[in-house]
Every structure is written in structure tokens, then in C-alpha cells.
Structure 1
Amino acid sequence: MDPGSREQNASKKESPAADITEDGFLGGQLRLRQPRGGHRAGHDAILLAAATPARSGDRVVDLGSGVGAAGLAVARRVRGIDLVLVEIDPALAELARNNAGTNAIMADVIVLDVEARAAAFDDAGLTPDSADVVLMNPPFNDPSRHQASPDGVRERAHVATATTLAGWVHVARRILKSNGQLALIWRADGIAEVLAALDRGFGSLEILPVHAEATSPAIRILVRAVKGGRAPARLHAALLLKEESGVPNKWVQEILAGKGELPLARR
């Protein structure tokens, strides 16, 4: 995984619309149409899905879902969830709706800014204490180290403001039931921001660092937290995308092919 990119090497088929591609995920178990340019789903979304502790019957809310990659991947792994995809961009939300239909997955797709007021969430049916699981892949690039993109959608999908993470976590805390589960992915060098955002209302943290290779620092962290949880925090052994020899990690390849889950998904 290139730290500067969220694209996945996936099987691709050009759409009749020149700006849309159709990509295969989970070893072809999931087919997603997405924009050729701008923010594209990739490894981050699939790893997040594999770290999401959902069970059959859970109401699962994917905040900032884009074209639905992470949420739909969870639904493909865990049958019988009540899936809600929340996306601010109407065009991406429409692709998410179409992707759900194409893959025969039931999903409620809501066009909504994650940082909208609570009343907007209430109107959309996302009332307090109504979700069992929330997953999120918020914009996380540091604006001071990120070259601004002329593409407004791409910029909004990638670049965090000073309040992005805290705002998204606040929304998750509001809509989750007591003991509800939160799964998120963030920059590894922003771990202090994650811990600060989760300090109010969340506990029982489990953190999984993700490294591109054994000799390099972590590039991502996957985090699971429990609303009202009180168990001690746990730091899991690192997930290496490549072995020391440079070959792709077999376990990671199985996860990306939809043949397993990460430890954070077990509860």
C-alpha cells in the first residue's frame, strides 16, 4: 500500500462512461463502480471492513462511505446486518446505491454531511443510541503536509481539518448504543489525535498498526473502541503488508481476497 494513495490493484473493467471504472474487490466477491479520478476505494477500505466487529442482526453505519466499499465489504463478510451508508457527495452516494444493488446487498444510502447538526441525523433516522456498530475512514491527511488538490471532491475525501476526527467520533458516540463498537482507520503518525478523540466516551481500545514493510514505520492504525468500555487498551502485533523478503504478506492477501478477518473484528 502506497502511503500516498488509497487505490487498490484490482481487476478493472472500463465503464461506458469514460470517468467511471468497475473494480473487483474481495477476490471478485464484490464489484464496485467508482470514479476514475478523485478518491478511490482501495486497501484502506478493505482492511477497515476486515477490522469491523459486526454480527448478524447489527445495525452497521458506515460514515463517509464513498461508493460503499467498506460497508459493503462488511455486509459481504457478515450476512444479515442492517447496513446504512452515509455520504456527503450525491454522485458518490448514487454509485453506492447502485453498487449495493449490483451486489444484491440491502443498504440504506443517506446523503448527509457527517459534521451536520444532530437534527439532520435525527431526520435521516440516525437517532441517538440507534446503531450497534459504526465504521469510518475519515479524511486524514495533514493539510500542512498535503498539496491541495484542484478537485474539490478529492480534497474533501483526503484532507482533515483540525476538528475532523473529533467531530466524526462525536457523531459515532451519539448514534451508538451503550457498548456499541467503533472501528476506524487513521494515519499512524496521528495516533495521539485518535487517543484524544476517543478519550471522552470510549474505552476498551484495541490498536493494530499497519506497516508497508518490516523495516519501515507504521503508515496506518486500525482502531476498535467500545462506547462506555472500561477494559485496558491492547496494542496488537503489527500487520505487515510485505514480508522482510519483500513478498506480499500471505495473510494480508487472504484478507484482501475476502477469506478472513482481522483480530479487531472478534468480540
Structure 2
Amino acid sequence: MKHGKFKPVYLVILILLLVSLACNTTAPEPTTTSTPIPPTATEPPILTSTPSPTNTPKPTKTPNLAATQQSEVFNAEAQEYFEKGYLTTANGSFMEFDDFNEDWAQLGWYNWWILDERASDFFMSAHFKWSTAWEYNNVSGCGFVFAIQDNNDHYAVFLDKSRVLFINMDQSRGRAYEVGKTKGTGRVKFDNPAEADFTLIIKDYYAYVLVDDELVGEYTLAKNKPIDGYLGLTVLSGTNKDYGTHCEITNLHLWRPK
């Protein structure tokens, strides 16, 4: 089993569409600085900026006995997903990553960090623990990024306290689009703070999102966009207040077929 490193990305994407995606009734926040879009707008513009550099977590080594036991757990996880039809094979290899701990406070923006690994078919799983500094915030939480291209096209999947947000970032159009569900509700229910196991599985052009080992949504990806690319972690903030969104990611592991 291998251990991987994080590589920070100094690019942040503003999703103005998130302002209109909050489905629950929220109290107004005095620190909001972004401009809301009309409720009927479906393709809002995306802006980019370059934030200050962030610290990169260092990988840790696992003792041999613990690594063997962990491998057995991970192999059982892959076998389960194969039997459910989420994977084309259970024969693969795992890579573990160091724990991740970051804050991000900019309403409607997400920051992301590249894992120095790439994949097409894969699954990535971790335990998320997150909180927001403002109870009545917009969508916020931890997430995974995948299919990162040289021009920074990518997909991002976030776990919010009430829903899963799955977006397709298209740099050529300067826009992010929400990826529609083909099955499942994409709905969850958590308090603030919250924690849950989160798994993203990619098989060909299909994506499966599991929360606490329960399938909450299946998604069909665009076939005119490559799915092979770098992977990453991301934090989305729904507030400018205080620390914004705090995200801890532990037990992070990646599976790829052999």
C-alpha cells in the first residue's frame, strides 16, 4: 500500500450559482459580499482569483501490522462495491493519504488541493468532519475533486449538511454547471457540526456518491469531457464569517484497478 502527498492549488473558483441553490430558508447574513443572481439564471459566470499559499500536509507511515489489517478492510470495501455493480473489478491497489485539516471563509467560493495522483476509474473514500461559523449559511462542506485537467477543468463533489452538490467546471466557458442525478435524491440531513463517511466512485462515465455507506445519488458524466485526470480535496464556504467552513478529512484512501 502506498502513501501519497498533497499538492496545493492556488486557484479558487467562485460559484455564484450556489446563492440560488440553497433550498432551505436561510436568515440574511450581513457579511455577504457576492452578488446574488436572478432565480431563473441557470448558467452564471464563474470568476477566478489567486489566494495566498497554504500549508501542505505531510504523509505519515503506517506500521506493518496496522497496514496489513487496514489492507484487509480496504479490500473488503472494494469487494462490496464490485458486488453492488459500482466497480468493474475488485482487483486493484490502494493508496493512503495523510489527514487533511483546513479552514476556508469566502462566501460561495471553494479552495482545492491537488493529490499528486491521477485516475479515471477509481473510488476515493474518507471520513469528513466539518462545521460552519454561520448557522444560516449557504451550501458548504468538504469534498473531492477529480478529472482535473491542465486547463483546470474538473468535477467537484461536496457534502453539505442537507445535500450533495456535484458540479462540472468548464474553463472554456468560464462556468460551472450542476451535474444532474440519474438516480437517488442527493439529500442528506446533518447538524452543525457534522461528520460522515463519504465515498465517490467513478466507473466509466458514471459516478456514485455514498454517505455513511448508503447510496444517495448516481450521476452520468459528460462523454465529451475526459474523466482521466488528477484528484484533489476541496473546501466550500457558505459564509464570510469568522473561520467560514472548517474541514477535517481522515482515513483518506484511493483505490484504482490493476
- TM-score norm. by structure 2 comes to 0.26
- TM-score norm. by structure 1 comes to 0.26
Is the strand fraction higher in 1 or 2? 2
